[in-house]
Amino acid sequence: MTAKLIDGAALARSIRQQCAARAKTLTEAGRQPGLAVVLVGDSPASAVYVRHKINDCKEAGIRSVLDHLPADTTEQALLARVRELNEDPSIDGILVQLPLPKQISEQRVIATIAAHKDVDGFHVANAGALMTGATGFRPCTPYGVMKLLESAGVPLAGAEAVVVGRSNIVGKPQAMLLLQSDATVTICHSRTRNLAEHTRRADVLVAAVGRAKMITADMVKPGATIIDVGMNRDENGKLCGDVDFESVAAVAGAITPVPGGVGPMTRAMLLVNTLEAAERASAGGT
């Protein structure tokens, strides 16, 4: 391996410590930050994610409230609970863990969360704010990727950045954040012709498609920075990303591992967004 390893776990620890200091300041002023996490159903993967998020809150001094609802919860009942949390002044951020059971519209749930408590950054008002450069919450994964690039000293102004994936949660907002940092951005997806021609031009390559080891060494520009957002299982059931780590690490200049790269940063930026919401509320704004 020749690539420099970009350690998301270490950076996330540092951010949690910073968050703890900010939370302590607010709490001592009489207002402990609060995050409500709503989990519907019994998905083991979702339960693990939620447990990690609650542990992170505890470490950072943020009060967390877990609502674990049964899998047969109706959309009406979930929306009613979200509206209650919108009105609760002790709750600064609301996170409804995705995916949701099939009887519930994710879009309707996201639209019902008050924009000033949407610490996931998925609400259309926050998506619009990101698009136009206004103040709003940035989605946690792309936000975490930007912090990783910053920590690694990756120059973005004028750089060729390629994002593989166009989801509302990662791909699209990632492209907007890179564009705000003056990168020249290409978005690729399942219908892109000659994907490797695009990826080989990238100074910065962000892989966010959810296909194990899809990005191989021959698709990477020598010396490029590779950010692997994927979280998959390989043929042996081992956790892996969208990037074939071993082969790509021999070509790239810097690379994030899976696990220990983007994942911890996604959770860290949730804390950052929750504290930002609490600080705004404490200052009398939304």
> Is there a catalytic annotation at residue 53?
yes
Query: Given 56, 97, 213, 242, which residue is catalytic?
Result: 97
On the 0-12 / 13-18 / 19+ scale of CB atoms within 10 A, 46 is middle
The half-sphere exposure of 60 on its side-chain side, counting CA atoms within 13 A, is: 32
Tokens representing residue 113 in the block: 């969360």
d(CA 249, CA 226): 9
Query: Given 53, 117, 147, 213, which residue is catalytic?
Result: 53
Beta-strand runs (E) in 138-197: 160-164, 184-188
Tokens representing residue 61 in the block: 């001094």
Q: Do 194 and 149 form a contact (C-beta atoms < 8 A)?
A: no
Query: Given 56, 120, 228, 244, which residue is catalytic?
Result: 120
The half-sphere exposure of 89 on its side-chain side, counting CA atoms within 13 A, is: 5
Q: What angle do CA 219, 168, 12 make, to 5 degrees?
A: 75
User: Active-site residue numbers?
Assistant: 53, 97, 120
